[in-house]
Structure 1
């Protein structure tokens, strides 16, 4: 969920602009929009019908929510030095929440989730997993995660890193991971599932292909032996298709 691109502060009345400044205080306009997106994707409180209408009417006009309790959440964490993105990290599967909180309490840096990967490997695996993400975590989280990863060159998502390390441990390079995932998606059959095409379910019941590396080590051996990647993938998938179409009467 992203803020309207053509928003304008002038579209709000003087009273609303003044109220907004009182509510949001020192948080800058750009950060207010990031916080608004984060709060809408992860509501800190339930709203009644009128509250939802008021919140969204103002959001649609200016990209900034105006619910007092919601803004109070943003102010609380902003005062403690957390950005909207870091707040989302604590509320989703992007990092291990328990570990994140323990390290905050101890004022320590979290354990390096990349293990012994070199910086170059981290960057290459980040690029690869951004093309084929393992899970959908909501529009705001995905957008913030992807922007952060592209800007820094490295993902800080535990879910994405776990995917990279799993395929790395199975012997894949980032390039081979991309080739495999590209071809697997070419052969999707309508009204069919495939036991080799494993998936995950994310927010709003959005399903993502998330392959199991160990199921594809034979593919890797044959691909490296020189077999055509398209025909190889098609041949390995073929025996495993299962029809999910409703059975019709005879």
Structure 2
């Protein structure tokens, strides 16, 4: 899925039956409280889903570091998409750190899953496809480490997890190897 299509899809949602914040033209954060916006901005500054250019990035970094949030539309779309599947800023940061060594591998996939490569002019930006990572939250909540949960989501964990089962919150058993 091209990056523009992904972000456009997440911008168009006007309502959310599950109580998530709804972005509007006036407020791309959809009424999210300022402290939560700032948490997301700090996380997205370290792992931007798109690179807005050096000038905007410089001003955004200064504003975020001084305690203010920014309204970079693709960043808010990424945050809202992740919030919709249960991620918060801390979980997003943890996932990005867990997949850091596998980013090139994820970019190279040709099945359109997990990430959208948004790198321009050599700046390392990457958008996560939120729905593809929802199980990661369940696996971590069920007791897997973030790294093992990422392995399980990406490739069935054939590389590193000893065999066994974990049980999800809904009682579903997952075979881990």
Residues 176-235 of structure 1, C-alpha deviations (whole Å, 9 max, x = no match): 111111111222456972344412335436552211111111111111122111112123
What TM-score comes out, normalization by structure 2 length?
0.64
1:149 CA displacement: 2.2
Rg: which structure is higher? 1
Match of 1:117 among 23, 32, 41: 32
* Change in 2 beyond 3 A, CA 1:188/1:124: closer
Match of 2:92 among 177, 190, 195: 177
SS of residue paired to 1:217 = helix
Match of 1:223 among 140, 155, 158: 140
SS of residue paired to 1:112 = coil
Give the corresponding residue for 2:167: none
Give the corresponding residue for 2:41: 126
Whether the aligned pair in 1 keeps the contact of 2:116 and 2:127 (CA below 8 Å) is: yes
What TM-score comes out, normalization by structure 1 length?
0.47
Q: Which has the higher relative contact order, 1 or 2, with Cα contacts under 8 A spaced 6 or more apart?
A: 2
Whether the aligned pair in 1 keeps the contact of 2:114 and 2:132 (CA below 8 Å) is: no
The 5-angstrom pairing of residues 152-167 of structure 1 reads: 152-167=67-82
Rounded Cα–Cα distance in structure 2 between residues aligned with 1:166 and 1:211: 9
Matched, 1:200 2:98: no
Which stretches in structure 2 are left out of the alignment for 5+ residues?
Answer: 1-10, 12-24, 158-177
The 5-angstrom pairing of residues 1-250 of structure 1 reads: 111-188=26-103, 193-194=108-109, 195=111, 196-204=113-121, 206=123, 208-238=125-155
More helix by share: 1
SS of residue paired to 2:30 = coil
Which stretches in structure 1 are left out of the alignment for 5+ residues?
Answer: 1-95, 97-109, 241-250
* Change in 2 beyond 3 A, CA 1:112/1:167: same
